């Protein structure tokens, strides 16, 4: 998801390219993509370039939103920890 | 499952690193076909200019639109988003070089032929400041080869730009593709 988020919105990336970036295997990446597609977080497009099959994936709007919420959640944890740390320093 | 602040910080670092890496590599994949295309067009354009120096205007008047249209088609074919920015970048470059030639006029064909690659080289170095050293290396190589040909090979400058300049763009395109 983070890798797909690094690609400009509305752009697709080829499966083979994504596999090379992630250094993943076909099976592993395929399984992740199927799960994320099932959740509606990514879209998969299969077509042909000439006679060669091509699979491309892109983050959907809801996937982008869900991932942004996940990042926000992680930041909330850090903010809460920082706030607790500041409170402890204030009382000591 | 509760995440510790350390876990959250680590996850955020990993996300940022993954995003930066994919943005960089995606940029390389986007630029590579353009470099390959313009490398081939440089070979053709400068090669024809070497053979028919009196027809430089006609040659480049045909090559540049072909390159822009083919570049657009290559990006679309690869699934890249190509909106008004592509046209805006092309228009800016054409307007910039037209303005430079106008300001410097009269300018001889060798100077014209050197100025454009130098401008392109500068653009690559500037892009590389954000996108990574491969762009900087490409820009410096194109600029160095252009200057070397311009000052050292006065008679055969166009041939030099066709062979060495075009080849350097093609090699840079292959290099970016493998990033």
pLDDT tens sequence across A33-77: 999 999 999 999 998 878 888 898 999 999 999 999 999 999 999
User: With an 8 Å Cβ cutoff, is B94 touching chain A?
Assistant: no
Q: How confident is the model at residue B30 (pLDDT cuts 50, 70, 90)?
A: confident
Residue B47 near residue B162, CB atoms below 8 Å: yes
Q: How many residues does chain B have?
A: 179
Interface test with B, best of A11, A43, A59, A66 (most B CBs within 10 A): A11
Q: How far is A74 from chain B (nearest CA, A)?
A: 5
Cα separation values, B101 from B62, B114, B144, Å: 19, 12, 21
Subunit contact B20:A6, Cβ cutoff 8 A: yes
Chain B segment 66-85 residues within 8 A of A by beta carbon are 77-81
pLDDT at B131 over 90: no
The pLDDT score that the predictor gives to residue B66 is: 93
Tell me the pTM: 0.72
Alpha-helical regions (H) of B52-132: 56-77, 84-104, 109-131
Nearest CA in chain B to A9: B81
Interchain proximity A78–B26, CB inside 8 Å: no
Q: For residue B79, what pLDDT is reported?
A: 65
Interface test with A, best of B8, B74, B86, B130 (most A CBs within 10 A): B8
In this prediction, residue B81 carries a pLDDT of 67
Contacts with B26 from chain A: Cβ below 8 Å: 6-8, 11, 13, 17
- CA B7, B9, B14: angle at the middle one, nearest 5? 90
Position with higher pLDDT, B112 vs B177: B112
Estimate the crossing angle of helix A26-38 against helix A15-22, to 10 degrees: 110
CA-based R_g, chain B, Å = 19
Percentage of chain B surpassing pLDDT 90? 39
Write phi, then psi, for B2 (nearest 5 degrees).
-90, 135
Q: How many CB pairs under 8 A join A and B?
A: 65
Residues of B in contact with A17 (CB under 8 A): 25-26, 29
Helix, strand, coil percentages (3-state) for chain B, rounded to 5, are 90, 0, 10
**For residue B74, which of B119, B103, B39 has the smallest C-alpha distance?**
B39
Candidates B16, B1, B12; CA nearest to A79 is B12
- The stretch B118-146 carries a mean pLDDT of 89
B113 contacts: CB under 8 Å, gap ≥ 6 = B46, B49, B56, B157, B158, B161
Name the minimum distance, in Å, from the CA of B11 to any CA of chain A: 8
CA distance B83 to chain A (A): 11
Note the Cα B165 to chain centre separation in Å: 11
- Picking from B8, B23, B26, the nearest residue to A77 by CB comes out as B8
Q: Which of A2, A11, A80 lies at the smallest CB-CB distance from B19?
A: A2
| Sheet order of strands, A13-14 included | A13-14, A52-59, A42-49
**Average pLDDT score over residue span B161-165:** 89
Q: List the single range of A30-39, B5-14, B78-87, B122-131 with lowest mean pLDDT.
A: B78-87
Q: Give which of B3, B4, B6, B18 to mutate to test A binding, by max A Cβ within 10 Å.
A: B18
**Average pLDDT in chain B:** 88
User: What's the whole-number average pLDDT of chain A?
Assistant: 87
Quickly count: other Cβ atoms within 10 Å of residue A85's Cβ: 11
pLDDT at A92: 62
pLDDT for res B77? 73
Q: What mean pLDDT comes out for the span B26-42? A: 87
Q: Which H, E and C letters describe chain A, residue by residue?
A: CHHHHCCCCCCCEEHHHHHHHHCCCHHHHHHHHHHHHHCCCEEEEEEEECCEEEEEEEECHHHHHHHHHHHHHHHHHHHHHHHHHHHHHHHC
> What is the pLDDT averaged over residues A10-24?
84
Q: How far apart are CA A25 and CA A27, in angstroms?
A: 5
């Amino acid at each position: 998801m983070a890798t797909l988020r690094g690609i400009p919105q509305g752009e697709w990336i080829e499966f083979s390219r994504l596999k090379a970036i992630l250094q993943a295997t076909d099976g592993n990446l395929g399984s992740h993509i199927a799960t994320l597609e099932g959740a509606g977080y990514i879209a998969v497009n299969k077509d042909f370039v000439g006679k060669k099959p091509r699979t491309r994936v892109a983050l959907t709007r809801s996937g982008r939103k869900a991932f942004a919420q996940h990042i926000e959640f992680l930041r909330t944890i850090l903010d809460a920890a920082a706030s607790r740390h500041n409170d402890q320093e204030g009382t000591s | 499952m509760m995440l510790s602040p350390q876990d959250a910080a680590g996850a955020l670092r990993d996300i940022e690193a993954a995003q930066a890496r994919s943005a960089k590599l995606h940029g390389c994949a986007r630029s590579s076909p353009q470099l390959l295309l313009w490398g081939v067009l440089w070979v053709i354009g400068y090669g024809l200019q070497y053979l028919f120096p009196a027809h430089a205007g006609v040659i480049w008047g045909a090559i540049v639109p072909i390159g822009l249209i083919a570049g657009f088609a290559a990006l679309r074919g690869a699934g890249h988003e190509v909106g008004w920015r592509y046209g805006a970048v092309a228009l800016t470059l054409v307007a910039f070089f037209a303005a430079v030639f106008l300001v410097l006029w009269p300018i001889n064909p060798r100077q014209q032929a050197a100025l454009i690659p130098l401008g392109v080289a500068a653009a690559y170095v500037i892009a590389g400041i954000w996108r990574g050293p491969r762009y900087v290396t490409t820009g410096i190589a194109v600029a160095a080869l252009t200057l070397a040909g311009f000052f050292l090979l006065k008679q055969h400058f166009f041939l030099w730009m066709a062979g060495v300049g075009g080849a350097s763009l093609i090699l840079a395109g292959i290099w970016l593709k493998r990033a």
